[in-house]
């Protein structure tokens, strides 16, 4: 049986409190009065709660847990962003080193370098960026002119460092150079005059410097502590280009690993060095 709205309006509710030691009374409420009372009570409670939160610092207590969770999420997001940035930088460094190695191999393996090639142009552009406009242009021009003037002279190599050779060249075991046992930060000299095609960090060999010479020679200096010359610079024979060190994974202590490559193949430096150190 369904009740109509008129019947609901006429409906009454009786409330009989059950209090001990008090005379029992019955309270009568009609349907509309009960609904209005409930609505009024709800509105009052809501207004009181809003005012209480606005006037008192209780809002911070109510949302303390939520704010803490938001703060933790924010820290995680910042940490993730830092990791992504670090990973991006590492990837860029790896790409740069890989490009430098590829360029060095191309120059080392090539019989000659075409002055109109894209590789030559890229090196020339990078060199121009590294020239100091305050006075290094003249120096760079002189170095370039001396390098051109000496191109027709026979090339010879000197020992790049003063020290004792404790590990010889052995292509069968994969040791493509000789190791000089020296204290850290010993000056490293250019074995011959040439053009620096790489001065960068490689995980396995540490700080590596590679110089391009005449007659398709390149010299390699590994595990350096730091560089005194930069990529795309011309250097003279005997000029200090780096300091010996112990950088990289494949190292057993402070030393300089020195290699000479001829037309893309490693050769024993002992066979072409004109001055053997007395310590050797």
Query: For the purposes of burial, counting CB atoms within 10 Å of the CB of 107, is it exposed (0-12), middle (13-18) or buried (19 or more)?
Result: buried
- Mean pLDDT score of the chain, rounded to an integer? 77
Same domain, 39 and 92: no
Q: How many helices (H) and strands (E) does the chain have?
A: 6, 12
Same domain, 44 and 91: no
pLDDT at 131 over 60: no
Same domain, 275 and 168: yes
What would the two tokens of residue 26 be?
């019955």
Q: What is the CATH number for 102?
A: 2.70.70.10
Q: How confident is the model at residue 134 (pLDDT cuts 50, 70, 90)?
A: very low
pLDDT at 107 over 80: no
pLDDT at 25 over 50: yes
pLDDT at 120 over 60: no
The phi and psi torsions of 196 (rounded to 5 degrees) equal: -75, 120
Same domain, 100 and 49: no
Nearest in space to 278 (alpha carbons), one of 156, 159, 155, 190: 159
Query: CA torsion 69→71→72→74, rounded to 10°?
Result: 120
Q: How confident is the model at residue 128 (pLDDT cuts 50, 70, 90)?
A: very low
User: Given this model, what pLDDT does residue 39 score?
Assistant: 86
Same domain, 101 and 203: yes
Same domain, 129 and 184: yes
- As for how many domains the chain has, the answer is 2
Same domain, 136 and 16: no
Domain boundary among 39, 55, 71: 55
Spatial distance between the Cα atoms of 128 and 190, rounded to a whole number of angstroms: 22
Structural domain range at position 12: 5-55
Spatial distance between the Cα atoms of 133 and 128, rounded to a whole number of angstroms: 10
pTM above 0.85, yes or no: no
């Amino acid at each position: 049986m369904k009740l109509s709205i008129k019947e609901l309006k006429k409906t009454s509710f009786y409330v009989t409190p059950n209090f001990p030691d008090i005379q029992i009374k019955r309270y009568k409420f009609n349907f509309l009065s009960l609904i209005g009372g409930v609505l009024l009570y709800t509105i009052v409670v809501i207004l009181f709660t809003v005012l209480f939160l606005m006037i008192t610092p209780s809002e911070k207590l109510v949302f303390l847990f939520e704010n803490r969770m938001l703060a933790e999420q924010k820290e995680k997001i910042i940490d993730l962003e830092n990791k992504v940035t670090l990973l991006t930088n590492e990837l860029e460094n790896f790409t740069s080193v890989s490009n430098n190695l590829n360029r060095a191999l191309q120059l080392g393996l090539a019989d000659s370098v075409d002055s109109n090639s894209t590789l030559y142009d890229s090196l020339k552009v990078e060199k121009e960026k590294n020239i100091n406009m305050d006075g290094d242009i003249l120096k760079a021009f002189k170095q370039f002119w001396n390098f051109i003037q000496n191109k027709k002279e026979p090339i010879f190599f000197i020992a790049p460092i003063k020290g004792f050779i404790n590990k010889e060249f052995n292509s069968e075991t994969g040791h493509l150079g000789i190791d000089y046992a020296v204290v850290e930060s010993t000056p490293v000299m250019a074995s011959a005059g040439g053009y620096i095609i790489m001065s960068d960090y490689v995980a396995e060999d540490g700080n590596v410097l590679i110089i391009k010479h005449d007659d398709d020679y390149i010299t390699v200096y590994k595990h350096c502590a730091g560089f005194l010359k930069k990529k795309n610079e011309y250097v003279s024979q005997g000029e200090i280009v780096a300091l010996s060190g112990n950088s990289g994974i494949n190292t057993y202590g402070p030393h300089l690993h020195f290699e000479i490559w001829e037309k893309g193949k490693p050769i024993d430096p002992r066979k072409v060095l004109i001055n053997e150190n007395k310590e050797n």
